[in-house]
Structure 1
Amino acid sequence: MTIHKEGFGTIIVVLAFLLAVNTGIYFLAGIELTKFTTLASFIIFALVLNFFRNPKRDALIQDGAIIAPADGKIVAIEEVEEDEYLKTKCLQVSIFMSVFNVHINWFPIKGIVKYFRHHNGRFMAAYLPKSSTENERTTVVIENDKGTQILVRQVAGAMARRIVCYAKEETNISQGQQMGFIKFGSRVDLYLPLDTRVDVKLEQKVTGRQTILGWFK
């Protein structure tokens, strides 16, 4: 298992903290309690390593397809008004990532990044509908070679305190290329044309870079 570069700083801090705690307990309470806290620390550290895992997986490259930008569960498929950039009715498909999911995000289509913004905000639970517009978030608009635009939004959750996005305006990106990383529980929303054929259902689990969410018409 490889570790994503965004996790190195957090992993070092957690390791230093756990070493300091166990050292202090050893000198204050002795070896017996230290055995217990060392085991607990090992479990905590393993969970942190697992969260920042960077799995090797091939991208499912398909012309006209929209691949999942994240691992997780489909929590919304609905018609909404997108009022930040597209300014039109869209089909919103949302993926909720628990702390046990891989938290890397990938570009769902190939094209050109036409718009990027980072918005500060609240840290409500990411599964709540209002989190899409009120939580800390990034907005990325991608235009494909046919002129069709989609909007991808990374949304911070109740535990997330940092969103990383690699998108830069007017750059070409590939389908399945890494788009960013969200630390701890979070969500990714896609705003698609209304005539998009959606091939996933509510509560369905999806795999980033590999599950096809739908197709352009």
Structure 2
Amino acid sequence: MFHKEGGKIILISTSLTVALLLLIDYFVTEGWFRTVLMLLVLSILVLVLQFFRNPKRYTEITDENVIAPVDGKVVVIEEVFEPEYFKDNRLQVSIFMSPINVHVTRYPVNGKVKYSKYHPGKYLVAWHPKASTENERTTVVVENRLFGEVLYRQIAGALAKRIVNYAKEGMQVVQGTDAGFIKFGSRVDLYFPIGTKVEVKLGQKAVGGKTIIAKL
């Protein structure tokens, strides 16, 4: 199953792949070289297809947990100053996504979207310390009845050139459902009140819609 955001790219990539394979088959006569070229073209298509995959995930919906919004590796757990919305110190948990990860963004909690804003910006590598404030990004705050306001931020990386965000202010959202997509390499930051019990460790792999990031 593929994400709807990949529809156009998948169609173009498939069409180009078919055209290139026909051209290679027609013009390249050297057997081994033709095989290598065909495998290279097919490999690129496979990479595009796997990037836009959208596996079905069963989320155990509960207000007592904050779940991972994306697949990836936990690269930051630290107290920082959050300057955009809270304007105070928060506990930040960041998940880095490589190009081979699933790039669907899922709502980490149930609740009402209180804030949703897009920021144009740079394309520093996603793990750069300044990526949270200087890269292209979207900031979303969902108010949950138990956790209060939970902020997550989609951040574009060096390869990501488009962030898709479905959250609109006033929406009621359901934990684990589709919140958007980041195309080609990225990161997502989560911000919690100081003292929140974090359930993940640095270097741990997180699974979007499944891994518990924090709980009451």
TM-score range relative to shorter protein: over 0.9
Match of 1:212 in 2: 212
Distance 1:203 1:60 in 2: 24
Match of 2:92 in 1: 92
Are residue 49 (structure 1) and residue 56 (structure 2) matched? no
Cα offset, 1:146, TM superposition: 4.6
Amino acid at match of 1:136: E
Tell me the TM-score normalized by structure 2.
Answer: 0.94
Match of 2:170 in 1: 170
| Residue correspondence of structure 1 range 171-210 to structure 2 within 5 A | 171-210=171-210
Are residue 15 (structure 1) and residue 14 (structure 2) matched? yes
* Residues 68, 208 of structure 1: 8 Å contact kept: yes
* Residues 196, 215 of structure 1: 8 Å contact kept: yes
Cα offset, 1:141, TM superposition: 0.7
Match of 1:34 in 2: 34
| Residue correspondence of structure 1 range 35-184 to structure 2 within 5 A | 35-146=35-146, 148-184=148-184
Amino acid at match of 1:134: E
* Residues 67, 109 of structure 1: 8 Å contact kept: yes
Task: Give unmatched runs, 5+ long, in structure 1.
Answer: none
Tell me the TM-score normalized by structure 1.
Answer: 0.94
* Residues 20, 41 of structure 2: 8 Å contact kept: no
Instruction: State the identity as a percent.
Output: 50
* Residues 90, 191 of structure 1: 8 Å contact kept: yes
Cα offset, 1:91, TM superposition: 0.3
* Residues 81, 89 of structure 1: 8 Å contact kept: yes
2:100 is paired with a residue of what secondary structure? coil
Any idea what the Cα deviations from partners look like across 1:75-125, whole Å, max 9, x if unmatched? 000111111111111000000011111100111111100111111111111
Amino acid at match of 1:154: Q
Distance 1:6 1:90 in 2: 32
Amino acid at match of 1:120: P
Amino acid at match of 1:20: A
Cα offset, 1:69, TM superposition: 0.5
Distance 1:130 1:187 in 2: 12
1:91 is paired with a residue of what secondary structure? strand
Change (3 A) 1:137 1:124: same
Amino acid at match of 2:153: R
* Residues 113, 142 of structure 1: 8 Å contact kept: yes
Change (3 A) 1:87 1:7: same
Distance 1:46 1:21 in 2: 15
Task: Give unmatched runs, 5+ long, in structure 2.
Answer: none
Instruction: Count residues in correspondence.
Output: 215
Amino acid at match of 1:38: M
Any idea what the Cα deviations from partners look like across 1:120-159, whole Å, max 9, x if unmatched? 1111111111111111100001111257111110001111
CA RMSD, Structure 1 to Structure 2 (Å): 1.5
Amino acid at match of 1:206: A
* Residues 167, 179 of structure 1: 8 Å contact kept: yes
Distance 1:18 1:26 in 2: 12
Segment drifting more, 17-26 vs 138-147: 17-26
